[in-house]
Amino acid sequence: MMKLNANQLNFSGGPGALPESVLQQLQTAMLCVPEVGLSILGISHRSQWFAQVVHELEDNIRQLMGLPDTTRVLMMQGGATQQFSMLPMNLLRDGQSADYIHSGYWSGKAIHEAEKSGKLNLAWSGKADQFSRLPSDAELQLSKDAAYFHYISNETVEGLQFHRVPGRDDVPRICDMSSDLLSAPGEFNRYAMIYAHAQKNIGPAGVTLVILRDDFMQTLPKDLPGFINYHAQADAHSIYNTPPVFAIYSVLLVTRWLLHDIGGLHNIAKHNELKAACLYQVLDDYADFYRGRAAIADRSNMNVVFNLPNAEIEQAFLQAAQQAGFSGLNGHRSIGGIRASIYNGLEIAAADQLADFMQTFYKRYKISTPQTSGLSTAYA
């Protein structure tokens, strides 16, 4: 089996692994961007070079997603968390209400922030099912008069992912795609707005992509303070204030990798599906031991979330995994368990290696049952 380094065995939920070739380019840029002669950390955001970086990145996003030139592409700060607040501040005016799906931890955060700005209609909640599944279209309670409809395409904590586009086409559809944007093709033209922080599939923390359909952009208010005003941000081409130059340049390199090395979103989707399939196969083959959280139809291709028979065995698994070179497998602090995040930058070989480790761990556990003491060293 091919020897993988620590970066290549990083299954962290975010920031996630970046492609090895991108890391190598960033290593060079830290000392000197070839076409500039300066470190990326010292290049002015007002330079002509950086303006070209922003322009190319905007074009690359449109090309990858199949969007028209009129689509606004912004590189903002504050992560998805700022968008949780900024979005309703711009749209929930004059007593209007918005429809939200509550499908897990992060959509709950979005709802909590939006409620501070206006009225919400809970179109569906998975709380009663402990966020183990997503709704069918028939379960959604949607309003044709909503100011907008909001959902999260992939819940990283619970390992749930929408594999269709929910919502009404006659109501502005807004989606937080922080953890699966650019991981597969999609019907992106059906969205009025998409936002995604970078630190899963598309770059390091510090930059958030906000993609706005032009006709929707024209409906947004212009009288808000500049930092939370989409018009002001768009007019400044993402340089309203000092932007995170390093993070934006990193995202540019990732889009170049997707376009030229991978060959577009159809190809990266095949990679991601293979990674997910090999891990879910282990969950299905050893379902008495590896207990997946998500309903099969709603399983995420980005985050494989599961539990083991008890907390002691989970700790043994994590310790043995760390000794074997894997990192980032701890489940989210809100639910515990195990989570393998398999974002774009993670290679297929890494998922295969984790699947092999999981099978070996299971077989050794069965041999040692019912003895559970010393598990943390037994599987190293």
What are the catalytic residues?
A: 106, 176, 200
Q: Are 72 and 79 in contact (CB under 8 A)?
A: no
Pairing type for strands 303-307 and 291-292 reads: antiparallel
**Angle made by CA atoms 277, 280, 283, in degrees to the nearest 5:** 155
Q: Return the DSSP state at 226.
A: G
Distances (CA, A) of 255 to 201, 283, 301, 357: 10, 32, 20, 32
Pairing type for strands 97-102 and 72-76 reads: unpaired
Closest C-alpha to 104, from 195, 172, 168, 176: 176
Can you say how many angstroms the Cα of residue 226 is from the centroid of all Cα atoms in its chain?
A: 27
Q: Are 123 and 149 in contact (CB under 8 A)?
A: yes
Q: Please give the structure tokens belonging to residue 337.
A: 């368990």
Q: Please give the structure tokens belonging to residue 314.
A: 């989970």
